[in-house]
Amino acid sequence: MSEKQQDLLGLGRLEYLQALVTEFQVTESSAKEQVLANLANFAYDPKNYDYLRQLKVLDLFLDTLTEDNDTLVEFALGGLCNLCLDKINKDYILEADGVAAVINCLSCSNEETVMSAVTALMYLTTPQSRQQITALPVVECMLRFSLSANRRLSNLATIFLEDYCSPLQVEEARNLTKHTALGIPLPKN
Protein backbone atom coordinates (compact mmCIF):
# COMPACT_ATOMS: atom_id res chain seq x y z
CA MET A 1 0.00 0.00 0.00
CA SER A 2 1.41 3.36 -0.99
CA GLU A 3 1.99 6.16 1.49
CA LYS A 4 -0.71 8.19 -0.26
CA GLN A 5 -3.26 5.36 0.16
CA GLN A 6 -2.31 4.97 3.84
CA ASP A 7 -2.83 8.70 4.37
CA LEU A 8 -6.27 8.51 2.73
CA LEU A 9 -7.36 5.61 4.95
CA GLY A 10 -6.96 7.83 8.00
CA LEU A 11 -9.43 10.39 6.65
CA GLY A 12 -13.17 10.55 7.23
CA ARG A 13 -15.58 9.87 4.37
CA LEU A 14 -15.98 13.53 3.34
CA GLU A 15 -12.26 14.20 3.51
CA TYR A 16 -11.50 11.04 1.53
CA LEU A 17 -13.97 12.01 -1.20
CA GLN A 18 -12.54 15.55 -1.22
CA ALA A 19 -9.06 14.06 -1.68
CA LEU A 20 -10.33 12.04 -4.66
CA VAL A 21 -11.96 15.10 -6.25
CA THR A 22 -8.77 17.11 -5.76
CA GLU A 23 -6.65 14.28 -7.18
CA PHE A 24 -8.92 14.11 -10.24
CA GLN A 25 -8.60 17.85 -10.79
CA VAL A 26 -4.81 17.94 -10.56
CA THR A 27 -3.96 14.65 -12.27
CA GLU A 28 -2.89 14.73 -15.90
CA SER A 29 -2.22 11.02 -16.45
CA SER A 30 -4.22 7.85 -16.94
CA ALA A 31 -4.52 7.76 -13.14
CA LYS A 32 -7.34 10.25 -13.71
CA GLU A 33 -9.42 7.36 -15.07
CA GLN A 34 -8.87 5.34 -11.88
CA VAL A 35 -9.80 8.30 -9.68
CA LEU A 36 -13.02 8.87 -11.65
CA ALA A 37 -13.82 5.15 -11.45
CA ASN A 38 -13.44 5.37 -7.66
CA LEU A 39 -15.77 8.38 -7.50
CA ALA A 40 -18.32 6.55 -9.67
CA ASN A 41 -18.14 3.58 -7.30
CA PHE A 42 -18.73 5.84 -4.29
CA ALA A 43 -21.79 7.22 -6.12
CA TYR A 44 -23.36 3.78 -5.73
CA ASP A 45 -23.80 4.21 -1.96
CA PRO A 46 -26.61 6.53 -0.80
CA LYS A 47 -24.53 7.31 2.31
CA ASN A 48 -22.26 9.32 0.01
CA TYR A 49 -24.92 11.36 -1.83
CA ASP A 50 -24.77 14.40 0.47
CA TYR A 51 -20.98 14.44 0.38
CA LEU A 52 -20.88 14.08 -3.39
CA ARG A 53 -23.37 16.94 -3.80
CA GLN A 54 -21.36 19.09 -1.39
CA LEU A 55 -18.20 18.39 -3.40
CA LYS A 56 -20.01 19.15 -6.71
CA VAL A 57 -19.25 15.70 -8.08
CA LEU A 58 -22.46 15.79 -10.12
CA ASP A 59 -21.02 18.77 -12.01
CA LEU A 60 -17.71 16.95 -12.38
CA PHE A 61 -19.51 13.94 -13.91
CA LEU A 62 -21.67 16.13 -16.18
CA ASP A 63 -18.64 18.12 -17.37
CA THR A 64 -16.71 14.93 -18.07
CA LEU A 65 -19.40 13.65 -20.47
CA THR A 66 -17.94 15.93 -23.15
CA GLU A 67 -14.35 14.67 -22.82
CA ASP A 68 -12.59 12.99 -25.74
CA ASN A 69 -11.46 10.14 -23.48
CA ASP A 70 -14.04 7.32 -23.84
CA THR A 71 -13.03 5.74 -20.54
CA LEU A 72 -13.59 8.98 -18.63
CA VAL A 73 -17.00 9.37 -20.27
CA GLU A 74 -17.89 5.77 -19.38
CA PHE A 75 -17.01 6.26 -15.70
CA ALA A 76 -18.69 9.68 -15.49
CA LEU A 77 -21.90 8.32 -16.97
CA GLY A 78 -21.74 5.31 -14.66
CA GLY A 79 -21.44 7.69 -11.71
CA LEU A 80 -24.39 9.77 -12.91
CA CYS A 81 -26.40 6.62 -13.44
CA ASN A 82 -25.73 5.68 -9.81
CA LEU A 83 -26.56 9.15 -8.52
CA CYS A 84 -29.77 9.78 -10.44
CA LEU A 85 -31.67 7.24 -8.36
CA ASP A 86 -31.83 9.90 -5.62
CA LYS A 87 -34.58 12.51 -6.10
CA ILE A 88 -32.36 15.48 -5.18
CA ASN A 89 -29.64 14.29 -7.55
CA LYS A 90 -32.18 13.57 -10.29
CA ASP A 91 -33.64 17.07 -9.97
CA TYR A 92 -30.16 18.58 -10.09
CA ILE A 93 -29.22 16.63 -13.21
CA LEU A 94 -32.48 17.59 -14.90
CA GLU A 95 -32.03 21.29 -14.04
CA ALA A 96 -28.43 21.19 -15.32
CA ASP A 97 -29.67 19.99 -18.75
CA GLY A 98 -28.14 16.61 -18.03
CA VAL A 99 -30.70 14.83 -20.23
CA ALA A 100 -29.21 16.40 -23.38
CA ALA A 101 -25.71 15.44 -22.25
CA VAL A 102 -26.80 11.85 -21.59
CA ILE A 103 -28.63 11.64 -24.94
CA ASN A 104 -25.40 12.73 -26.67
CA CYS A 105 -23.71 9.69 -25.11
CA LEU A 106 -26.04 7.35 -27.02
CA SER A 107 -23.72 7.82 -30.00
CA CYS A 108 -20.62 6.58 -28.13
CA SER A 109 -18.84 3.57 -29.56
CA ASN A 110 -18.41 2.04 -26.08
CA GLU A 111 -21.32 -0.31 -25.32
CA GLU A 112 -21.00 0.12 -21.54
CA THR A 113 -21.34 3.88 -21.96
CA VAL A 114 -24.40 3.43 -24.16
CA MET A 115 -26.04 1.04 -21.70
CA SER A 116 -25.40 3.48 -18.85
CA ALA A 117 -26.89 6.26 -20.99
CA VAL A 118 -30.06 4.24 -21.68
CA THR A 119 -30.36 3.32 -18.01
CA ALA A 120 -29.79 6.91 -16.88
CA LEU A 121 -32.47 8.14 -19.29
CA MET A 122 -34.92 5.68 -17.76
CA TYR A 123 -34.02 6.83 -14.24
CA LEU A 124 -34.28 10.51 -15.28
CA THR A 125 -37.75 10.15 -16.79
CA THR A 126 -40.30 12.36 -15.07
CA PRO A 127 -43.52 13.89 -16.39
CA GLN A 128 -41.48 17.01 -17.17
CA SER A 129 -38.55 15.25 -18.88
CA ARG A 130 -40.48 12.52 -20.70
CA GLN A 131 -40.98 14.54 -23.90
CA GLN A 132 -37.23 15.20 -24.27
CA ILE A 133 -36.25 11.64 -23.31
CA THR A 134 -38.72 10.03 -25.71
CA ALA A 135 -38.15 12.42 -28.62
CA LEU A 136 -38.32 10.80 -32.03
CA PRO A 137 -34.51 10.56 -32.58
CA VAL A 138 -34.11 8.83 -29.21
CA VAL A 139 -36.93 6.37 -29.92
CA GLU A 140 -35.44 5.65 -33.35
CA CYS A 141 -32.08 5.04 -31.68
CA MET A 142 -33.68 2.64 -29.18
CA LEU A 143 -35.29 0.74 -32.06
CA ARG A 144 -31.87 0.27 -33.60
CA PHE A 145 -30.36 -0.74 -30.26
CA SER A 146 -33.16 -3.29 -29.80
CA LEU A 147 -31.71 -5.07 -32.87
CA SER A 148 -28.18 -5.19 -31.43
CA ALA A 149 -26.33 -8.50 -31.23
CA ASN A 150 -25.47 -7.52 -27.65
CA ARG A 151 -28.36 -9.06 -25.68
CA ARG A 152 -27.90 -6.70 -22.75
CA LEU A 153 -28.21 -3.64 -24.98
CA SER A 154 -31.03 -5.19 -26.99
CA ASN A 155 -33.01 -6.05 -23.85
CA LEU A 156 -32.43 -2.64 -22.27
CA ALA A 157 -33.57 -0.83 -25.42
CA THR A 158 -36.65 -3.06 -25.63
CA ILE A 159 -37.55 -2.22 -22.03
CA PHE A 160 -37.12 1.49 -22.82
CA LEU A 161 -39.43 1.18 -25.82
CA GLU A 162 -42.07 -0.83 -23.96
CA ASP A 163 -42.06 1.03 -20.65
CA TYR A 164 -41.22 4.63 -21.56
CA CYS A 165 -42.60 5.15 -25.08
CA SER A 166 -46.13 5.08 -26.38
CA PRO A 167 -47.02 2.64 -29.16
CA LEU A 168 -47.59 5.68 -31.40
CA GLN A 169 -44.06 6.97 -30.74
CA VAL A 170 -42.57 3.57 -31.55
CA GLU A 171 -44.61 3.25 -34.74
CA GLU A 172 -43.64 6.76 -35.86
CA ALA A 173 -39.96 5.93 -35.30
CA ARG A 174 -40.35 2.61 -37.16
CA ASN A 175 -41.86 4.40 -40.14
CA LEU A 176 -39.05 6.97 -40.10
CA THR A 177 -36.42 4.24 -39.91
CA LYS A 178 -37.87 2.55 -43.01
CA HIS A 179 -37.24 5.69 -45.04
CA THR A 180 -33.84 6.82 -43.90
CA ALA A 181 -30.34 5.54 -43.25
CA LEU A 182 -29.65 8.39 -40.84
CA GLY A 183 -29.42 7.77 -37.15
CA ILE A 184 -27.11 7.13 -34.31
CA PRO A 185 -24.67 4.30 -35.11
CA LEU A 186 -24.70 1.13 -33.05
CA PRO A 187 -21.82 0.92 -30.59
CA LYS A 188 -18.91 -1.34 -31.48
CA ASN A 189 -18.53 -4.69 -29.76
What is the tens place of the pLDDT at every residue in 54-70? Answer: 999 999 999 999 999 99
pLDDT at 181: 44
Q: How confident is the model at residue 6 (pLDDT cuts 50, 70, 90)?
A: very low
Q: What is the mean pLDDT of residues 74-99?
A: 97
Query: CA triplet 14, 16, 21: central angle to 5 degrees?
Result: 90
Higher pLDDT, 179 or 14: 14
The percent of residues in the chain predicted with pLDDT above 90, rounded, is: 80
Residue by residue, what is the 3-state secondary structure of 49-84? HHHHHHCCHHHHHHHHCCCCCHHHHHHHHHHHHHHC
Instruction: Give, as one character, the DSSP assignment of residue 1.
Output: -
DSSP letters, 6-27, are HHHHTS-HHHHHHHHHHHHHH-
Q: What is the mean pLDDT of residues 159-185?
A: 81
d(CA 60, CA 175): 39
- Lowest-confidence pick of 9-13, 94-98, 158-162, 167-171: 9-13
pLDDT by residue (tens digit) across 117-140?
999 999 999 999 999 999 999 999
pLDDT at 1: 45
Q: Is the pLDDT of residue 74 over 90?
A: yes
d(CA 48, CA 4): 22
**What sign results for the dihedral spanned by CA atoms 19, 8, 54, 90?**
positive
Q: What is the mean pLDDT of residues 23-33?
A: 87
State the chain's mean pLDDT as an integer.
90
Q: Is the pLDDT of residue 73 over 70?
A: yes
pLDDT at 85: 92
